Amino acid sequence: MDSKLIAFATQDVPRYTSYPTAVQFDSDFPGSTADEWLSGLAPETRLSVYVHIPFCRQLCWYCGCHTSVPNGYDRAARYVEYLVRDIRRSASIFGGRKGLVTHLHFGGGTPTYLDDFHIAELVEAIDTGFGLAPGGEVALESDPRTLTRERARVLARMGFNRISFGVQDFATPVQMRINRLQTYGLVAAANDYLREAGFASVNFDLMYGLPGQTVESVARTAQQAAGLKPDRISVFGYAHVPWFKKHQKMINDADLPGVHGRYAQATMIETGLNAQGYASIGLDHFALEHDELTRAARNGTMRRNFQGYTTDVSDALIAFGASAIGEFSHGFAQSARDTLEWSQHIERGESPVVRGIVTTPEDRMRAEAIERLMCDLNVNVAEIAARHGLDAAVFSDLGERMAPAIAAGIASLNGAHVTVPAEQRLFLRNVAAAFDTHFVSAPNRHARAV
Ligand code: SF4
């Protein structure tokens, strides 16, 4: 890596799955505002629904998600009861047309920690309350260690057609250091079960920067993963924040690659996946030619939301579960992170939303500029300002804000046109930060760029 890039690679910058980002949310945001946004949606609004399941069978030491390992299944069963109550309450507030949920996504944690009965109960509650659109995407994140042939068939019968697996790295020495032992054979078998059951799309998550990983180990993992032909592969850098995620203290700092190692691993994975027919998409996704994400990336219709890159073009995101974030045209609304606090709100028949932000017209314009840059690697800020009815002069300081990135060769500015060269896509978040008027560069607030 060129020495000019080190300062950017080690900079902590937002992931820009939303703008403003979650750290800007107001911490005493009234739940009644989220209910007003919900009741104000037009009856024909296309909806996306997210359900958060904050439970796992065992904790991976690298985990940065909002999850826990419950003492027994009862806790998860009670959680599902509250989810169903909140889904019914929200559906009655919405009161719009049924059948417009084009995307339903179960994330976590590990949604397949739940048994089949509880997953089916949740799908039914959403279908009854909001209505799944025919042919819509019904997706879940899963742990291949929780998937059997029968389970894959049952999930397909419930309507699931897309699944995402955490693979991370196939090397046993790496897996031992992150408390996640899953052999290549186990992942390959789970992949076969999903294809047999008729899943239209399978996504693998890989990581770099994990303890014990080397350029050679990630190259081999990328080759093995691509050999199983998942439709999409997402690649994330490990964020080591043991002061924030206590279980990461189980990871020995001395086993972690440095900035040059992380950069070399990330670029090696990209080279390996490209060689196996995977197109580079946005910051950190890869997809085969036939995949609709590849088409969306090429024709400029790809979107970026809390689940990462997506073809989802819904007008509102309704979120259920502890810590889940909903998105409306007026702003963002996040439920309580603590499951007890979250359930107490629902018990009282009120919204579990406790954090959020009302966005301004300028926020919404900047959000679109950042989203287009993160998706397309280029953006015309004058066009976006005009579309939002604002004066492009709001971007008049962009040249000054982007000057270090331009000098380092990770971005260019021609008139109103900002471009990040494809070979510098790892630095997209650094360049996007130039559009972010809320951003304060400070260590440990966000994940490192590389
Ligand atoms: S399975 Fe996923 S959510 Fe659960 S602990 Fe591991 S990384 Fe975190």
pLDDT at 8 exceeding the cut of 90? yes
Q: Does domain 1-16+360-437 have CATH number 3.40.50.1100?
A: no
Torsion of CA 396, 401, 404, 409, to 10 degrees: -60
Does ligand 1 come within 6 angstroms of the Cβ of 56? yes
Q: What is the pLDDT of residue 140?
A: 96
Strand order in the sheet with 412-414: 378-380, 417-419, 412-414
pLDDT band at 422; cut points 50, 70, 90:
very high
**Alpha-carbon separation of residue 218 from 1, 123, 168, 266, 269 (angstroms):** 17, 37, 9, 8, 6
> Is the distance from the beta carbon of residue 108 to the nearest atom of ligand 1 less than 6 Å?
yes
pLDDT digits (tens, 9 = 90+) for 183-230: 999 999 999 999 999 999 999 999 999 999 999 999 999 999 999 999
d(CA 354, CA 342) in angstroms, rounded, equals: 9
> So what's the pLDDT on residue 313?
86
Ligand 1 binding pocket includes 5 (Cβ within 6 Å) = no
d(CA 313, CA 311): 6
Q: Is the pLDDT of residue 443 over 80?
A: no
Dump the DSSP string for 191-214. HHHHHHHT-SEEEEEEEES-TT--
Q: How many residues does the chain have?
A: 450
Q: Is 279 helix (H, G, I), strand (E, B) or coil?
A: strand
**In which residue ranges of the chain is CATH 1.10.10.920 found?**
1-16+360-437
How many Å lie between the centroid of ligand 1 and the Cα of residue 383?
41
Q: Convert the pLDDT of each residue in 127-170 to its tens digit.
A: 999 999 999 999 999 999 989 999 999 999 999 999 999 999 99
The CATH architecture that domain 17-317 belongs to is: Alpha-Beta Horseshoe (3.80)
What does DSSP assign to residue 448? B
Q: What is the DSSP-derived secondary structure letter of residue 315?
A: S
Mean of per-residue pLDDT scores for the chain: 95
**Is the CB of 70 within 6 Å of ligand 1?**
no
What's the mean pLDDT in 387-415?
94
Residue 232 identity = R
For the chain, the first-to-last Cα distance in angstroms comes to 11
Would you say residue 295 has pLDDT above 90? yes
Q: Is 164 in the pocket of ligand 1 (CB under 6 A)?
A: no
Pocket test for ligand 1, best of 53, 55, 60 (most atoms within 8 A of CB): 60
pLDDT tens profile 9-25: 999 999 999 999 999 99
For residue 321, CA distances in Å to 13, 55, 79, 104 come to 26, 11, 8, 14
Task: Return the best residue to mutate from 57, 59, 247 for the ligand 1 pocket (most ligand atoms within 8 A of CB).
Answer: 59
pTM score:
0.95
Residue having the nearest C-alpha atom to atom 6 of ligand 1: 60
Mean pLDDT along residues 324-337? 97
pLDDT band at 444 (very low <50, low <70, confident <90, very high): confident
- CATH 3.80.30.20 residue window(s) in the chain: 17-317
* Residue 28 scores a pLDDT above 80: yes
Question: What separation in Å is there between the alpha carbon of 364 and the centre of ligand 1?
Answer: 32
Answer yes or no: is the C-beta of 59 below 6 A from any ligand 1 atom: yes
Q: Which percentage of the chain shows pLDDT scores above 90?
A: 92
Q: What is the distance in A from the centroid of ligand 1 to the CA of 59?
A: 6
- Nearest ligand 1 atom to the CA of 180 is 6
Give the pLDDT score at 447.
82
Q: Are 306 and 318 contacting, i.e. CB atoms less than 8 angstroms apart? A: no
